[in-house]
Structure 1
């Protein structure tokens, strides 16, 4: 797999835990500028694919077709964590699009946000499909299928026109043959695809800098999608999650996925970043991403500070006493 040590965690001066993985940084031609571990490592994008899965939707401006607000449309790209403002926007979105919650293919669940989940439990509310963190993405694909006259009931099947178009667009942006992309089924039941890490980085750079996309329709869809994410950072995750903190920086397009995969595009610097934590940990994302930005000499210190505030490098016990630290220890290879 070509993984290297990314983060070490110490307690009382003793090395207690190690997180392995790989990082890739590319330029606007897709050339690898920096790497740690194997940039050819193939990994599923999981929810890091959501901005690209939304491109067929935004290519037809489904938000304008159904009269959606910017906040509602941003949910097409989101891994929302079920806070009250997410659910309110989703319910409005479903009403405007003339969709029914039971038509969602994703399962019924409780919100990922612990406080939001506790609120639903205290109210004795049952699980709902709309609480699923992928429900916004599903709604977008359902709304597009309805608009195009495609079968809504089978929108989740790999053979469905919307899924085929997603695959074609992803292959086009990543500049890989469609036939070379491994496919699986994501946690929400939709098809998901895998790419080498450096191609994920390149794809995120194009999302941040859509002028790199030749096809005018896809270019415009990418520009609209990325703007929706930056305009509505809290809709993309929640009030205490790395994706939302990064998207508060208008220079970045960023999205993470399950099992430790992350993609970032930097507009001014015109570089793309991707990473994979081999054990799937999301807790070490802030440590790794902040360290990458620091090593690249990133100028917005506020963004880096927000990451460290979200998950400090100091490790504390249950009483709040500092008992250890985590360190990003990877080395760049050129």
Structure 2
């Protein structure tokens, strides 16, 4: 089976201009693949779709209670925040409460991903900061855990560090892939990141949405708490106008995307896990693909689907607001 198939086609003036390839699969609570397009066994790096699972060791020790953090602040442990003012204010509050300095973060200095937030910082003459990095909430959570556990804070990014070894165990438990079969690379923020078959990402997200499916009692409660925070504070997880936040406004959904086109979704009521990978790494076509998946399975919350199409309409406009083309999801279930 080919790893990737056609997922989305884009037309301009009725001429096919672009094709996005990738793979999509849906699993049920028994871990069975019930729908697929492309190869569900294709191995994929989780990238930032791993963040809810990377936060589980932090939530297991109730670090938010240890340091008196608000739920809004603790939700950033699973976030790919895009640097809006309220994100930075919450991160600076975490730093004050935990005693963590910005210089301790291993992620590199950057500017906010949100274009308006970035422009505002530049206009004020501000330069790149580690706290602006979209992964800074995750790093703060791990550092706070190291501080609480008296683990070395300077080497928390190394694969052999206790916090990274515990994350590996969590990934293995949630995906049901043995640790020795999980490939480990280095993510953009410098931390270890893991690669697993696509269908196991769907399995992990189904467990995040339905923690009763988690066999390991020591992580079940922590997974439930981080999933709850993600739904309670959806705009903290990404942006005021981004796919993750739009999905998480729906209390039935656990969801998180990652770099290079990977996305995981769990549906609580339907007890289904969804995983997808866009092979060219495009995030722009996520709304088209995810909305189409939800429509095809008869998802009953039309508001959630409408929010996705609002973020990136299937109608393509040029810079002047003129309709110049359209995109459509073209994948077929096997």
TM-score scaled by length of structure 2: 0.99
Cα distance in 2, alignment partners of residues 174 and 235 from structure 1: 25
Spell out, residue by residue over 1:213-259, the C-alpha distance to the aligned partner (whole angstroms, 9 max, x if none).
12222000010010000000000001110000000000000000000
Cross-structure match for 2:174 = 173
Partner of 1:153: 154
The question of 1:313 aligning with 2:326 is answered no
Q: Deviations over 1:150-197 (max 9, x none)?
A: 000000000100000000111011111100000100000000000101
Residue 131 (str. 1) matches residue 135 (str. 2): no
Partner Cα separation in structure 2 for residue 247 and residue 263 of structure 1: 12
Shift of 1:26: 0.1
Residue equivalent to 2:274: 273
Q: Encode CA deviations 1:61-119: one digit per residue, 9 max, x unaligned.
A: 10011000011000000000000000000000011011000000000010000000000
Aligned partners of 1:198, 1:36: CA distance in 2, in Å? 11
Cα shift readout 1:9-51 (whole Å, capped 9, x = no counterpart): 0000010000000001000010000000000010100000000
1:63 aligns to 2:69 (yes or no):
no
- What does the per-residue CA deviation read over 1:109-139, in whole Å, with 9 as the maximum and x for residues that have no partner? 1000000000000000111100000000000
Q: Partner of 1:86 in structure 2? A: 87
1:1-334 correspondence runs (5 A): 2-333=3-334
Structure 1 ranges of 4+ moved more than 2 A: none
* 3-state DSSP of counterpart to 2:307: helix
In structure 1, what is the Cα distance between the partners aligned to 2:132 and 2:125? Answer: 15
- The CA RMSD over aligned residues, in Å, is 0.5
For 1:2 and 1:126, locate their aligned partners in 2 and report how far apart those are by CA, in whole Å.
42
TM-score (norm 1): 0.99
In 1, are the aligned partners of 2:109 and 2:130 still within 8 Å (CA)? yes
Give, in whole Å, the separation in 2 of the partners of 1:136 and 1:169.
19
In the alignment, structure 1 segments of 5+ residues that lack a partner are: none
In structure 2, distance between residues paired with 1:249 and 1:323: 32
Structure 2: runs of 5+ lacking an equivalent: none
**Which piece of structure 1 moves more, 17-26 or 216-225?**
216-225
- Aligned residue pairs total 333
